[in-house]
Structure 1
Amino acid sequence: MKNINILVEVICLIGSVLFFSESFAQKVRALDATEIEEIAYDSDLDIPVFMGFEYRDKGGLWDMLLLEDGYIAGSDTATNASLEGILYLQDHGGYLKKMVLKDFIKEEERDIRFWTSYCSFLDLDNDGYIDPILVYASYKGDNNLDKEPLRIKIFILYKRKKIAISARECVLDGCRSLKFDKDYSALPSSIRRHVFQLMEVMRNEKGVVLKDG
């Protein structure tokens, strides 16, 4: 347990706020700047990487990079027009791109960013494979660190599928929505239970509604 506490402290120091369990702490670590630069160079990425993670499961050794096009190290006010999440499988010294998700600001939006405090890398159905969950939100204003989100997305990466939950926040019932991809209902109950618990945490901490109508 002492080793786990040490690992949690190290990860917090580099800015990673995640859900933890003993199994999580044993399998996942945050990438340092040199490791991120190596993957970015190998992949010829054209927007900045602000955070990266590595984990091992039955499928091999994986790296997840989170990219935001306006990211500036040390800045809390930079805004983004787009973001990407890229999942790699390490293979013979290289990095095979296995999954990509992208999103861009819409007409009324001025910023989009990952909510890393709600991202997680856990084996949620105990099958030996990590089930990453990525969360991000968009905003109307230019500086939205303390403002309400406009659009929220939760992605569950499960068996090579990107399964999304899409929410639009609005003060009026008619423009508020919460939509689940058709594949969501086929997910194991343990994953769906985790997602609903995550959504409840987000409601309490972010003040979001996450409701259809």
Structure 2
Amino acid sequence: MKPSLFMFLLACTSSFAWAQGKAVNTTCKNDVMLMHAATLKKLNIQLPVSHHYCYSDQSGNYVLYLAEEQDVGYPSENLSNSIAAYQFKIEDDQSLSYPIIVRDKAARNDAGVGFRAKLIEFADIDGDGRIEPILVYRFYLDDNAKINYDPYFGRLKIVMLYKGEKVVIRASTGPYHGDAFTTASENFFSFPKSVQDYLARKMKKMSEDNLFAFEHNHNYMPLKKREPYKEF
């Protein structure tokens, strides 16, 4: 089932996150231009746009597009073989520049992949006046022609856009000891501790909400590489 028009508009006009205690308005005021077919073609956004968000900080004005193929149909929702996210800076003349692009694909044994819009955040985590978008998307398994939403099955990625860099947290989980592990890209470990702790708290909250069973032997902090499993 594709997202309804109501949910699409809700995601584009009413998505807020907390930035140093203040709500971030992600409403796009110039949708006619931003969502025009000619604009998307010029930006080389080839997949259908499922959500888009605009925000401003001391470094300028930005738009973030989430695009999903939605070519894998299930009774509960459509998943995708391919997804992408595009962050552009909106210049004074309304041109879009300096893109940061995230692309990913489902593996052969996955039911598909999809962005989790309710888990997306826009926050000034380190108090420097710049907003860090945080994206979440999950890879699901197939369970007799149904999506397996069980938090103890599947994979998940968290991608944060931080001062022009992409930091990626990769998490896998499973029902047995040793199945769950969480790793991060190298740049994560050079970021301020406040940023690292924020993402760890986000994973803890997702676990507490029964959304995804993260490995938590290290207080939800990701590792540089997967540790060998040891029997108790």
Aligned match of 1:59: 59
Amino acid at match of 2:55: Y
Cα offset, 1:77, TM superposition: 1.9
Higher helix share: 1
CA distance in 2, matches of 1:11, 1:56: 23
Tell me: CA distance 1:207–1:122, structure 2 relative to 1, closer, same or farther (3 Å).
closer
Report whether the alignment pairs 1:187 with 2:191. Answer: yes
Residues in 1 aligned to 2:178 and 2:89: alpha-carbon distance in whole angstroms: 43
- Counterpart of 2:61, as a letter, is L
State the 1:154 CA deviation. Answer: 0.7
SS of match in other structure, 2:129: coil
Report sequence identity in percent: 19
TM-score normalised over the length of structure 1 = 0.81
Aligned to 1:123: 124
Q: Which residue number in structure 1 is paired with residue 220 of structure 2?
A: none
Deviations 1:159-184 (A, max 9, x none): 11111110111112233321122221
C-alpha spacing 1:30/1:71, structure 2 compared with 1 (3 Å): farther
Indicate yes or no: 2:175 matched with 1:171: yes
- Give the distance between the partners of 1:105 and 1:170, measured in 2 at CA: 17
1:150 paired to 2:149: no
C-alpha distance after superposition, 1:75-101 (max 9, x if no partner): 952121111110001122211142001
State the alpha-carbon separation in 2 of the partners of residues 124 and 46 from structure 1.
31
- 2:58 is aligned with 1:83: no
Q: Secondary structure at the match of 1:152?
A: strand
Contact 2:141 2:148 in 1 (8 A): no
Residues 49-58 or 15-24, more deviating: 15-24
> 5+ residue gaps in structure 2?
1-5, 216-225
What does residue 14 of structure 1 align with? Answer: 10
Q: Is the 8 A contact 2:16 2:26 kept in 1?
A: no
Structure 1 SS opposite 2:186? coil
Describe how 1:64-75 pairs up with structure 2 within 5 A. Answer: 64-70=64-70
Q: Give the aligned CA root-mean-square deviation in angstroms.
A: 2.9
Q: Describe the SS at the equivalent of 2:168.
A: strand
Q: How far is 1:102 from its partner?
A: 0.7
- Partner residue of 2:111? 110
- 1:45 matched to which residue of 2? 45
Aligned partners of 2:65 and 2:87 also within 8 Å: yes
Q: Secondary structure at the match of 2:189?
A: helix
Whole-angstrom distance in 1 between the partners of 2:71 and 2:64: 17
Q: Is the 8 A contact 1:42 1:95 kept in 2?
A: no
| 8 Å Cα contact 1:31-1:52 kept in structure 2 | no
**CA 1:78–1:105 in 2, change beyond 3 Å: closer, same or farther?**
same
Normalising by the residue count of structure 2, what TM-score does the alignment of the two structures yield? 0.75
Deviations 1:122-168 (A, max 9, x none): 11111111111111100012542744451110112111111111011
CA distance in 1, matches of 2:126, 2:112: 34
Number of aligned residues = 201
Distance 2:54 2:31 in 1: 13
